[in-house]
Amino acid sequence: MLQIRSFTKKYGEKCAVDNLSLSIAPGEICAFIGHNGAGKTTTLKACVGLIDFDGGDILINGMSIKERPLECKLILSYLPDNPDLYDFLTGEKFLNFIADVYGVGTEERRARIADLAERFSLTKDLSQPIGSYSHGMKQKLAIISAWLHSPRLILMDEPFVGLDPKASFTLKEMMREHCAGGGAILFSTHVLDVAEKICDKVAIIKNGKLVITGPMDEVRGNESLEEVFLELEGDGE
């Protein structure tokens, strides 16, 4: 579903991500872990066509994001770390706008918005302007919008930040359901116990280089993900 091949991104002289390769198959949830500034956001943004890059290629369902960006974007969705929504729109108008962009039909959008808003206890708030929402409510709305067009691949940058415990639980459930239905997810997080619980796969990046990737059980062995991460962080310092 997602193949990152020798991805390299430079900002001026600085190499933010160096020769990173990673694959996510249908049905997999992969946690993308790394210290602040390691290169996670840069990689996720490149995967969804938000930034250009200097080397390698990124394939979405076999299509290059550089060569066929629109076709790729139709089957993926991206939740940024700080969703920048339109404060002057109501939640409902925003979701309808997103549904229009992705060509989601009237009946389907009505059913999906009703279901997703209910799951996040946001139904009543949809008639209110986004500017009146709390940070967590904005995050819930952004998650609903990411799920709205039934994408096959979902990329999320620290999706649990700002969510209350019930919404976190709902998101974890939705992630599992998405992958049980053949979808795939790559998400960055600093919450290692969540990653450990819900992910089949993990990728750890350090200073722009992928230091380890594989099935969660194999990467962890008899240790916790936190122990593995801290050991890798300590290496070479």
162 binds ligand ATP (CB under 6 A): no
1 binds ligand ATP (CB under 6 A): no
Q: How far is the CB of 103 from ligand ATP (least distance, A)?
A: 31
Q: How far is the CB of 129 from ligand ATP (least distance, A)?
A: 29
Cα gap 107→102, rounded to integer Å: 14
40 or 119, CB closer to ligand ATP?
A: 40
Q: Which two tokens stand for residue 86?
A: 């339109």
Stretch binding ligand ATP (CB under 6 A), from 35-43, 101-109, 125-133, 218-226: 35-43
195 binds ligand ATP (CB under 6 A): no
Strand partners, 167: none
Q: How far is the CB of 209 from ligand ATP (least distance, A)?
A: 12
Would residue 205 be called left, alpha or beta, if left means φ above 0 and alpha means ψ between -120 and 50 degrees? beta
Judged by CB under 6 A, the number of residues near ligand ATP is 10
42 or 77, CB closer to ligand ATP?
A: 42
Question: Judged by CB under 6 A, which of 4, 7, 30, 42 binds ligand ATP?
Answer: 42
51 or 85, CB closer to ligand ATP?
A: 51
79 binds ligand ATP (CB under 6 A): no
Chain centroid offset of residue 126 CA: 23
Residues contacting residue 69 through CB under 8 Å, at least 6 positions apart: 49
Residue 55: count of CB within 10 angstroms of its CB = 15
Q: How far is the CB of 227 from ligand ATP (least distance, A)?
A: 20
49 binds ligand ATP (CB under 6 A): no
Let me know the angle formed at the C-alpha of 120 by 184 and 97, rounded to the nearest 5 degrees: 75
Question: Judged by CB under 6 A, which of 6, 21, 37, 71 binds ligand ATP?
Answer: 37
82 binds ligand ATP (CB under 6 A): no
Stretch binding ligand ATP (CB under 6 A), from 34-42, 106-114, 126-134, 223-231: 34-42
47 binds ligand ATP (CB under 6 A): no
Give me the residues that bind ligand ATP (CB under 6 A), please.
11, 16, 34, 36-42
